[in-house]
Structures are given as C-alpha cells and as structure tokens.
Amino acid sequence: MKDGFIKVSAITPQIKVADPAFNAEQICTCLDKAYAEQAKIIVFPELCITGYTCQDLFLQQQLLYGAKEALNQIIVHTAGNDALVFVGLPLSVEGKLYNVAAVLSDGHLHGFVPKTCIPNYGEFYEVRHFTPAPEEMKEIVFGGRSVPFGTRLLFTCKNREDLVIGCEICEDVWSPDPPSTAHALAGATVIVNLSASNETVAKAEYRRMLIASTSARLVAGYIYCSAGEGESTQDLVFSGHDLIAENGTVLAESKRFAPGSISSELDLERIAHDRRKMNTYPRCRDEGYVRVPFSYNKIENTKLTRFISRTPFVPGDVNQRTRRCEEIFEIQAGGLKKRLLHTHAKTAVIGVSGGLDSTLALLVTARAFDLAGKDNEDIIAVTMPCFGTTDRTYQNALSLAKALGCTLKEVDIRQSVTQHFADIGQDMENHDVTYENGQARERTQVLMDLANKESGMVIGTGDMSELALGWATYNGDHMSMYGVNAGVPKTLVRHLVDYVATSTPDAELSRVLKDVLATPVSPELLPPVDGVISQKTEDLVGPYELHDFFLYYLLRFGFDPAKIYRLACIAFFEDYDRAVILKWLRIFHRRFFAQQFKRSCLPDGPKVGSVAVSPRGDLRMPSDASNALWMREIDFLDHPENQDIL
C-alpha cells in the first residue's frame, strides 16, 4: 500500500443455483487468483454461495445448512492470506432469514452485514424470503464463536488508519438513503457492494452512473460486484456487471455476460486529502457503530495498473475534450463580459504577440464582446515589436487581429527600450534578465496607458502554468486589469486554440490559428538567429506537459514529491527517463515556492477548473514559505538506491 494505493478486486464466479459446495469451490479458485495478484479487498456477488435466484429454495433447511458448510470451507481456505473477503449467503438468525455479506480474512470470520433494503416490486420479491436488517447491532454464534451481526459494522485496518471499509448489499445503494451514506459519515473510506442486479435495456448505463456518483458524493472508493453466469434465467438475466470507482471516476469495469474479475488500485491518500479539503464534509458520526479491526501481515508496494493520464487537465476522449473546451471558453468569456459591463469599459486593450497565450486571450475577448453586444472594432490589438520579435509571430499577430475585425495598433518599442537602457546604464549587449524584463515592462506600460487613453481595460494573457512557475515579469506581463487565462494551464491553452481553429467557419482565421499552434513557445525577448526564434521557453524552464502534471497532483491532491515522481515515471515512461523527470520535478518545486510572491498579487481572473492559483481563494500560501521539506524528499529520490519506487 505504498503511497496509499491498495489493490482491490470484484469477482463474479461461475456458479450453479442451489449448489453451495460447487460454488464454494469456484469461489476458492477465484480467491487463489486474486491472492496471486496481491488483491487486499476482494468482493463477491450477493448470495453467491447459493446463487441469488433460488427463490423458495431459500426456505429449505438443507440449502441453509449447505450454505453454512460452504462458508466454513471458504473461511478455512482464506487461512494464511490477509486479504479482506466479502462473500454473500443466506443466514438464519433467531428464526429469521437474512441476506448477508460474510467478512473473512486469514481463516477468521470478522462479521456479518445483513441487507437493509429488501425489494418488493416488479421482478424482485425478496420480501417473501428475507427480513430487513435489524436496527440494533448484536452478537451471534457461528462456528462456536461470537460474531458481530448488523449493518453498522466498519472494518478498520490497524496498519492503515485511512482504510475503513463499510458494506451494503445491492438494493441498498438504489434507495433514497443508502447505508453507505451513514458508513461514510462514520469514517468509511471504501464501500463494498455485493449485488445481484439483472439486466434490462439501458440499466447498465444507469448502474454505472449510480456507482460513480455515489463514490463522488461520499468521497470514497466503491467496489460493486454483481451476479452473473450460472444464475437462473427463468425470468431474468444477470450479466456480472462489476465496477470499481473512486471519487466519481470509474477505474475498472467488467465485460458483461461473462464470468470473470476486475481489479484496480484505490488511492486512499487521494480520498483522505479530498475529505480534509472539503470542509463541508461532516465530522465523524459513528454513534452505534462497531469497529472491527483487521490487519495486513505485509504492506506491499502495490503495482499500479490504473490509468494515469499524461495530461490530467485535458480529457483524452475527443468528444469530452471538445465539450470541455466549449465550457471553458464560455467561462472565460462570461467572466470578461461581466467585468467589461461593470467597469463601463469602452474598449479592451490586449497585447498580441502571435503566441498561444495572447491568441487565446484575443479569442476570448472577441467572444466576450459578442456576448456583450459590443463591436469588435473596440478591441484594440496592440503589437509591440522589439529586439526578439520574429517575422512569423509578427505576421500572425497582424493576421489574427484582422481576421477578428479588431482595431490593430502597432507600437514599436525598440527606441523607448533603448533609451530606457541608456537611462539606467544597461549595456545593450548584455542579454541578462534586465534586458529581457525591460522589454516586458515597457509593453505593459504601453498597454496600460493606451487603456487609459481609450477608456478601456487591459486584458491579461498569462496562463496558470506560467504563474505556477513564476515565468512572468513582475509588473510586466504579470499585471493586467483582468487575466482571462489565469485559470488555464499551458497544455489546455493549446487545445482551446485548436478547438477554435477546427470549429470556426472562417478559413483565414483557422489558417492563422494553426500556424500559431505550430510556433515554438517563446517570450521572444532575445534577438532571433537568422530570423528564427532563439529563445524557447521549454528549453529553459522545462516541458510544460511535465510541469502541468506536477502542478495538478501537487495542488489538486496535495501529493508529496515521491508520489508525483512515481506517477510521472509511469505516465511519461515512453518520452522521458527518470533522471529527466526528477530534474524538472526539482526545478518545479524550487520555482513554485520561490515565485509565490508574484501569485500573491495577481489581478482578477476566472477560475475554470479544480486547480487554480488565485491568492483570494484557491492558493493562500505565504510568499516566503520554505521548500526544504519537499526538496529533502527530492534529494532522497536522487540517490540511485532510491530510484526503484514504481
């Protein structure tokens, strides 16, 4: 369970109705496979020891005896294996029959959890055979020893305090007030569901949505295991639709209509982080709960099989990505529209360089003007060529402004910057940070003064990735009157521009945008070489795809450097070796802490996603916080003997 990852499995065995001995053998065989895969939580379907579809055979004493014997066989089989196993059977208690989950590990029976919501509608008629779970907890005798029985059972791991498991059965999760809600409020971080849900048209889609949304609402992992092949098909068909979800994301899903298993890794640290961060998540309400401790004999370095996206800010599915871009574009434009109307700004002034960020900002401004019913002629697009400007970016800036119908204004700042350098004694041949920042601040001064002159406001172009790294000139491109890109990471900027390029009916606009996308990212503050950009940002500060990955996991989940490094090594193994990833991870953490002072005085700008760096809400961080704790862990990773962490 290194880094909080725990391997879990949902298994739908092939069974025979009313044949507990055969079913126990199948379950034990499946357990052996799950043990070999190092699963630590293993869930089987509802009533799988007998089969869910036994109907009135559940009232036969012979079947109930057989189920008990089969459970004993399975308990014995778990000896020597510490995985927590949930398996379903009918159980007679004090003259009543209950649909229960038995919880086992290492040759021990830890408890029985009875089903709360017994359906009595349509094709489901369980009330004929089973009694709803009693409200009170009790102890019953099974196999000569006392065992807890009731719905308010939580199975708590002694090795890992953030692993607390609650259990519900099938219909429970479909009810308006499922037991899982109380379990989560009492501290459960993982919910298991033993189910026997039949198939009808479109039911699988609803089931998938239900399980995903339940895991999101509870901020929990959810393991759902359903009955499948071997159940009676007299009136219903069961497909074995198994699901593993975490915080709203489906991590694994079975192929229906075939016996088998699914497995994945739940991230307990992610769950715990989100609950800490979500201050509306209630404090623990565990009145009436019985906590049953269990332990793992060996804490293993769980091998990760769950998908880790290289671009956590960008959906992999094309259709989902298009919808995401549409939504973000409207959020940006809607925010700017409100600010323009509130300030009674006549114009919007924006510096256009022919690069990605200023291109997106100009597109957003044009959309905001459409929403506000304003004429694009009142967008003043300003190009300010200087020592590093190349003809390619200059021409793209001109073409973009023309295609959008903006008022284009060119202010060549070479002379004013040269005079400024003379005033402060800066050698023109010394291409240091003063040489670079002097140009950026001159451009900002021009924009601010033009905005005053034209009764307008300056639209900021800098993106969230640059702000995270401090890759902005303080009081230069760092400053504006409204930063429309402040919540958009660099990897997403590219897709937003591409979204407009591919969706616009304007062929010329599409052509210009595609050339902007093909241009290397650069601040263009150093002279070009043979007319070509000489200063490429990613050569200096590192690949933005890595920095955005680091940023996402640092701020969204609060992960430590070792865990981020481990995930990055898996996600980027085809493109970067470990030493390169570690190098940029070190630079990211160094810059992120050192440059907070720039983020502490950011202008307003719209938040568009779950990660943002606004000092007014999302990142309230001291400008002089030490990074020593984080850098020590990175130093630890830098030793060869500590590299093998995957």
The average pLDDT across 311-336 equals: 96
- Per-residue confidence band for 279, with pLDDT thresholds at 50, 70 and 90: confident
Strands (E), 416-511: 456-460, 482-483
At residue 438, the pLDDT reads: 95
Residues 6+ apart with CB under 8 A from 269: 3, 4, 162, 557, 559, 563
**Residue linked to tokens 């192929």:** 255
% of the chain residues with pLDDT over 70: 97
State residue 355's pLDDT score.
Answer: 92
The catalytic residue positions are: 46, 115, 170
**What is the spatial distance between Cα 610 and Cα 225, in angstroms, rounded to a whole number?**
31
State the burial class of residue 24 (Cβ atoms within 10 Å of its Cβ: 0-12, 13-18, 19+): buried
pLDDT one-digit tens code per residue, 405-449 = 999 999 999 999 999 999 999 999 999 999 999 999 999 999 999
- Give the separation between CA 251 and CA 226, rounded to whole angstroms: 16
Examine the pLDDT at 31 and tell me if it is beyond 80. yes
Query: Binning pLDDT at 50, 70 and 90, where does residue 73 land?
Result: very high
Alpha-carbon separation of residue 539 from 521, 522, 584 (angstroms)? 10, 10, 11
Quote the DSSP letter at residue 474: T
d(CA 604, CA 616) in angstroms, rounded, equals: 9
User: Domains of the chain, with CATH numbers?
Assistant: 2-294 (3.60.110.10), 318-642 (3.40.50.620)
Tens of pLDDT, residues 497-552: 999 999 999 999 999 999 999 988 776 667 777 766 656 677 788 999 999 999 99
Q: Has residue 629 got a pLDDT over 70? A: yes
Q: What is the pLDDT of residues 367-409, one digit of tens each?
A: 999 999 999 999 999 999 999 888 898 999 999 999 999 999 9
CA–CA gap between residue 608 and residue 327 (Å, rounded): 9
Distance CA 251, CA 341 (A): 44
Q: Check whether 298 has a pLDDT greater than 90.
A: no
Amino acid at 188: A
CA pair distance 233, 286, nearest whole angstrom: 41
Q: What is the mean pLDDT of the chain?
A: 94
118-134 tens-digit pLDDT: 988 766 678 899 999 99
Residue 645 has pLDDT above 70, yes or no: no
Q: What is the pLDDT of residues 202-228, one digit of tens each?
A: 999 999 999 999 999 999 999 999 999
pLDDT (tens digit per residue) in 461-482: 999 999 999 999 999 999 999 9
CA distance 89 to 74: 12
Give the pLDDT confidence score for residue 390 in this predicted structure.
Answer: 87
C-alpha distances (whole Å) from 313 to each of 308, 327, 469 are 12, 14, 17
Dist CA 637 CA 562 (whole Å) = 7
Q: Is 205 helix (H, G, I), strand (E, B) or coil?
A: helix
For a pLDDT cut of 90, what percent of the chain falls above it?
88
- Average pLDDT estimate for 312-341: 96
Characterize the bridge pairing of strands 108-114 and 153-157: unpaired
Crossing angle, helix 356-372 and helix 490-503, to 10 degrees? 60
